[in-house]
Structure 1
Amino acid sequence: MVLKITCFAAIVATAHAIAVGYPAVAKVAVADYDPNPQYSYSYSVADAVTGDNKNQQESRSGDVVTGSYSLIEPDGVQRVVEYTADPVNGFNAVVHRGPIAAKVVAPVAKFAAPIGYPRLGHPLAHPLYG
């Protein structure tokens, strides 16, 4: 319904602009073009509580992007992916899998959960028991 109203409003605005004599096409400001874009970033996570252990780094110079990332898979194996992308060769990735140097184990909370039984005759009690 919102899409129909939005489309209708756009059609009415365009028709009004044409009828009044304004150009129907809106002018959009174009940002400056960078012929040689460059960036570089990286991040890393090592959380001993959850066992989350991963990192990534990437850099770009012009149309060539290179980077890698690694993570610990659920089976305890480390996956490392090295990749490149450029206009000539496209996107290429090489995946390495191997054991991790030191396994991060999340601590296990030890506590006894209370056991609750429904009271007989209680309105929320199970139909077979109350």
Structure 2
Amino acid sequence: MFKNVILLCLAVATLASPHKLAPSGYGYSAPKHPLSYASHAPAYEAPEQSYSAPETSYHAPSYEEDEEEGKPFEFEYAVTDHYNGVDFGHNENSDGTVVSGQYHVLLPDGRTQTVTYTADPDNGYQAEVTYEGEAEYPEPHPYHPAPPSYHAPAHSYSAPTHSHSAPEHSYSASEHSYSTPSHTYGKPDGTSHH
């Protein structure tokens, strides 16, 4: 009985103790306070940029100007169509160094424009522009469409003429080609047969 009282006192003292013993079999201690967790600052650091622009391995090609002498040439053409108001032409020639030529064109206002030019390595392109004739600007006329030229076709039909005639009779009465038959039987000789 005495032992039971002692065990009961120990049990009450253990339950009343502010510090609980860690359960057997575990080697950790209970946390001091359930809200004592402190967050740790992140230890991440951005890497340093090690990018460098690549070196250009492309090299622009070098062109050496070839000093070739020009070749002589010559050409000429012209187109003239007075009905449609077209008139232009061009001629050009070169001795291999200096190019000279001339072209002309009939403008819509009625004048003819002529360009005479020369070109060489020292002076470049030199041109002289001249005009022949006087500019004309006719008054615009309002458009009046022509009346329709359609006419109803004339009737060229005529009634056909009758060319029928009664047929002629071409038959004739047939001739009689039969003759009276002749008797070919003979008279009996009177002999009787029994």
Report the TM-score when normalising by structure 1: 0.50
Greater share of residues in strand:
1
Report the TM-score when normalising by structure 2: 0.34
The one of the two structures with greater contact order (alpha-carbon pairs below 8 A, sep at least 6) is 1
Structure having the higher Rg: 2
